[in-house]
Amino acid sequence: MFQLTRSVTWQALKRLHADTAHDRIADYFTADPQRFDKMSLRVGGLFLDYSKHHISAAVLEKLLELVDHSALVQRRAQMFSGDIINVTEDRPVLHTALRNVGEGPLMVDGQDVMPEIQRTREQIQRFSEAVRSGEWKGYSGERIKDVVNIGIGGSDLGPNMACRALLKYRHPELNFHFVSNVDGAHIQKVLSGLDPATTLFIVSTKTFSTQETLLNAKTARRWFLEHAGEDADVGAHFVAASTNRKAAMAFGIREENVFEFWAWVGGRYSMWSSIGLPIALAVGFEGFMEMLEGAYEMDQHFLNAPHDANMPVLMALIGIWYINFAGAETHAIVPYDQALHQLPSFLQQLDMESNGKSVDIFGHPVDYKTGPIVWGQTGSNGQHAFFQLLHQGTRYVPIDFIASLKPEPGMEDHHFALLTNMLAQANAFMEGSQKGSELDPYSCPGNRPSSTLLLDELTPKNLGALIALYEHKVFVQGVIWNINSFDQWGVQLGKRIAGEISERIDEHSQDFDGSTQGLLTLVREHFPS
Ligand code: F6P
């Protein structure tokens, strides 16, 4: 059986790592003045500079061999055509179909899925236009002013991140709120500022069975009924994005206000589906479609560009180099853009839930590292928090810097400071400094790698392309590691045990370990039956 770590290419990469370990990234630029031109590329409104990496031309060539010898071409074609690649859940993985703006059918199980995708798009269009125009009325005849999305994980992070990123395109009379945490403090705080007569709740849950979301949705409905309308009015204030139409209707949501999607859309890949409804409400249906178009453009690039000029493939290989050969444990996402402040959290779920796996697609344990710990926060703030460790600490952390080039009118000076800070940091990480000068009494070793991703402007289209880029990067890494990037059994285990514990709170159950039993005793005191 093929063993990745025994392959000739893997072994050659290990040797190359040993041979180049003491190279200085900065010297690569001296040796090759064309390095920036060679190691940068543009796709639509996105520009990637990957020249500041500890990657020589020989290393890049070998990394590309790794992808050539992988199942990428086959697995990618399978994903886009709806074959079952999520083998443990026996499902296709078709988020790419949701942003397919091309012509032609897409057959899954002998059925063309495009007409139903189109139907749901039309439903999103009708609804978002009605709410945005004020034609949609609440129970007392007033227009909607506040939209509350109730969901968690993929049913929160995507729309939450996108609504914040696209804030400047938002409808001026609509405010958006996101409730995810089962901690009652979250929903309490959001509801405390709202008027039930002008509030719309979107219950976003693929399964309509997630404890946190159902509890929050019930609390919202109770609050609505206590302060305002009657049972019959719930329909004007609650809609759902879910694959579980029956459960949504049992909750009181009108059939025509259940925005459907399908089992083949993974939670963390669902912002392109009905889960993106808050985005359509915020930026309008046209803006939502522009976001899909940006993603589609990246899909086409991913499908058609040669591997050595393929942005997601290159980003995946760079990650693999650091994780599997240079020993990096983590990967930092640092957007120099306040509007992208939720991006690190979004990418954390995308990457860590997808590639946090230790068995391959056949269920065999892997003998190599897989997905990294993804973390980060906005740049300018991060500089004054964790950058010190990145500059002089003992950890080795590759960084993705992300920024948009176009300044906001009237904010040119801020934007200039933002971008120059980012460039300064990327330069400082690479060059470091020598001990002894008056300015730098203590040395910074430098030689710390980073990519820089520039968006021409943070538009819906470029945001769509950016997210699709990371989705495909994660996919390529999953293919090379031969793992299933589309299940999440670890999360399911936690969900199941939470259910068991809450069911047995009254029992002196011996089923749990001694620590859990002891802690349950303490919890029980506060919840007398
Ligand atoms: O975090 C695990 C997960 O299953 C995610 O994949 C999903 O986005 C989230 O839970 C919420 O699930 P649901 O949308 O069914 O409420």
How far is residue 180 from each of residues 38, 157, 222, 257, measured CA to CA in Å? 44, 9, 17, 21
User: Cβ–Cβ contacts within 10 Å for residue 85, how many?
Assistant: 22
Ligand 1 neighbourhood includes 273 CB (under 6 angstroms): no
Select from 178, 206, 488 the residue to mutate for testing ligand 1; criterion: most ligand atoms less than 8 Å from CB.
206
Instruction: Provide ipTM, 2 decimals.
Output: 0.97
What is the rounded CA–CA span in Å between residue 420 and residue 137? 48
Residue 212 CA: which ligand 1 atom is closest? 16
Within 8 A by CB and 6+ apart from 292, the residues are 98, 99, 101, 272, 464
Reference 26, options 296, 514, 478, 428; nearest CA is 428
pTM: 0.96
- Kindly indicate the confidence band of residue 225, based on its pLDDT and cuts at 50, 70 and 90: very high
Ligand 1 neighbourhood includes 153 CB (under 6 angstroms): yes
Distance 306 CA to ligand 1 centre (A): 34
Ligand 1 neighbourhood includes 154 CB (under 6 angstroms): yes
Select from 86, 150, 152, 474 the residue to mutate for testing ligand 1; criterion: most ligand atoms less than 8 Å from CB.
152
Query: Sign of the C-alpha dihedral, residues 203, 343, 485, 370?
Result: negative
Given this model, what pLDDT does residue 529 score?
67
Query: How would DSSP label each residue in 366-394?
Result: PSS--SPEEEE--HHHHHTTTHHHHHHSS
Q: Which residues pair with 240 in a beta bridge?
A: 203, 258
What is the rounded CA–CA span in Å between residue 278 and residue 234? 19
Q: Over the stretch 283-319, which tens digit does the pLDDT of each residue have?
A: 999 999 999 999 999 999 999 999 999 999 999 999 9
Given this model, what pLDDT does residue 503 score?
79
Given this model, what pLDDT does residue 169 score?
97
- Kindly indicate the confidence band of residue 510, based on its pLDDT and cuts at 50, 70 and 90: confident
> Of all residues in the chain, what percent carry a pLDDT higher than 70?
98
- Mean pLDDT over 240-268 rounds to 96
Q: Which residues are catalytic?
A: 353, 384, 495
Q: Flag whether pLDDT at 398 surpasses 70.
A: yes
Distance 492 CA to ligand 1 centre (A): 9
Ligand 1 neighbourhood includes 451 CB (under 6 angstroms): no
Distance 153 CA to ligand 1 centre (A): 5
